[in-house]
Structure 1
Amino acid sequence: MVEGMTRGKPDNRPSEARLRLLATATRIFYSEGIHSVGVDRIIAEAKVTRATFYRHFPSKDDLILAYLREVHEMERGTVDAAIANDSSPVDPLLAIAGSIAQNIQSPGFRGCAFLNAAAEYPDMEHPVRQEIIAHRQWFLDTLSKLMAQVHPETADPAARRFVMLRDGAMAAGCLFDPALVSETFLHGVEDLLQPSADRPSTESID
C-alpha cells in the first residue's frame, strides 16, 4: 500500500512536521510576539528542514494565519462546549466568562493572542488583520445570539459590553493580580446579565 493512502483514499491528516511547526509557532508567537520571531528559529525549534517548512507554509504570513486559525479553533471549541452544556439562557455566557477568567490566571498568560497580533499588524488590508477582524466578528455575533435570549431588546449593545469587559480583563491580567482581575471581570459579566431594571443601561454603547 502506498504511504499516506488507506484503502485507496488519501490520508488528509496533517503531517507530523506541519503539526510540529504550528505548535512551535503557536508557543513562540504567543509568548514573544510575531515580528520578533524569525522563520529560522521556528525551523530550528521544530526540528525540520527549511524545505519542509516552505512545503507546508509558503511564507511566514501563511504560518501566522495558521497560528491565528489554530487559536480561533481552540476558542471556538470552548464556546461551543459552553453552548452545548447550557441549562438556562445565562449559563453559556457565564461559562464563557468563566473560561476567560481561568485563562487569565493560567501560567504563561500574555493577553489576547488576537489583540496582540492586531498591535503588530495595523494595516487594515493585511491578511493577518483581516483574520483578526473575522475572529472578533464571530465572537461578537455569537455573544449577540446568546444575549438575545437574556436581553432581547438590547442584545447587541450588551454583547459589545461583554467584549469590552473581556478585552479590558485580558489586558489588565498582564499588568495586575490575575485573580483580582478575573474576579472583577466575572462580577462585571454577572451585573450585565441581571434583569434590565437592575443593571446599568447599555443604550449608549455603540
Structure 2
Amino acid sequence: MILPKDKDYRARIKLVDTAAELFYRQGYTATGINQIIAEAGVAKASLYQHFTAKEELLVAYLEQAITAAFVRLRAQVLPLANPRDQVLACFSLMAEFMDGHDFRGCRFQNMLAEVPASSPRVHELIQQHSIQMRDFFAELLLPIACEANADSIALLYEGALISCQIHRSLAPIETAKKIVASLL
C-alpha cells in the first residue's frame, strides 16, 4: 500500500509515533502535549489539526498498537506447523517483548491503570484488544477442536503479562506456558 506523503500526513504519523513511544515509556499522565510536540518536531498547530485533545492521540496510539500487535503475532505464529506450537509461540513472543522492553508491561494494561473510566473509547479499545487476543487463540485452536480452551489461555496470557511486570521476571510467562501446554 502506498501511503500519502503530504506534510500533514507525515506530521500526524510523527505525532502518533512519538506519543506511542512516550506513553509506553513514561506513561500517559506523565507525558505532556508540549513534550510530544517537541520530540515529534512538529508545530503545535499540526497537533491540533489532527487531534483536539490528548485523549484522541491516545486513541490513535492504541488503535495503531492493536493493529501492530496482531500483524506481528500473525507473521510470527501462523507459519508454525501445528496449533499447539502456534499458541505456545505467543507466550514465547511475549517473553521476548517483555525482556526487550525492560519489563515495562503491556501497553493496554498500563493504559487501563492510568486512564479513568470517564474515557469510554480508551476502555473500549483496551477491551477490544483483550477480546481479539482471546479470539486469536480460539482461531488457532479450531483445527484441533480445543477452541473451548481459548478463555483459559487468554486469562493465563494476560495474567502472565502483569505478573511478569510486577516481578520483573520471565518466570510467570514460563509457568503460564507450561499450564497452557498441559491444556493442549
| TM-score category, normalised to shorter length | 0.7 to 0.9
Higher deviation after alignment, 37-46 or 119-128: 119-128
Tell me the distance in 2 between the aligned counterparts of 1:179 and 1:137.
24
1:112-148 CA-to-partner distances (Å, cap 9, x unmatched) read: 1111112223427611111111221111112112223
Distance change >3 Å, CA 115–CA 55, structure 1 → 2: same
Report how many aligned residue pairs link the two structures.
181
Please tell me whether residue 148 in structure 1 is matched to residue 142 in structure 2: yes
- Where structure 2 has 5 or more consecutive residues not aligned to the other structure, the ranges are none
The percent identity for this pair of structures is 29
TM-score normalized with structure 2 length: 0.86
**For the Cα contact (< 8 Å) 1:92–1:146, is it kept in 2?**
yes
Displacement of 1:149 after TM fit?
Answer: 2.5
Q: Give the structure 1 partner of residue 170 of structure 2.
A: 179
* Aligned-CA RMSD value: 2.2
Q: Give the structure 2 partner of residue 33 of structure 1.
A: 27
1:126-205 to structure 2, matched below 5 A, reads 126-152=120-146, 155-156=147-148, 158-193=149-184
Higher helix share: 2
**For the Cα contact (< 8 Å) 1:118–1:129, is it kept in 2?**
yes
Tell me the distance in 2 between the aligned counterparts of 1:123 and 1:112.
19
Tell me the distance in 1 between the aligned counterparts of 2:168 and 2:115.
28
1:51-81 CA-to-partner distances (Å, cap 9, x unmatched) read: 0111122221211011111211221012211
Distance change >3 Å, CA 124–CA 90, structure 1 → 2: farther
Q: Give the structure 2 partner of residue 46 of structure 1.
A: 40
Please tell me whether residue 72 in structure 1 is matched to residue 66 in structure 2: yes
Distance change >3 Å, CA 11–CA 186, structure 1 → 2: closer
Distance change >3 Å, CA 84–CA 174, structure 1 → 2: closer
Displacement of 1:189 after TM fit?
Answer: 2.3
Question: What amino acid does structure 2 have at the position aligned with 1:21?
Answer: L
TM-score normalized with structure 1 length: 0.78
- Where structure 1 has 5 or more consecutive residues not aligned to the other structure, the ranges are 1-9, 194-206
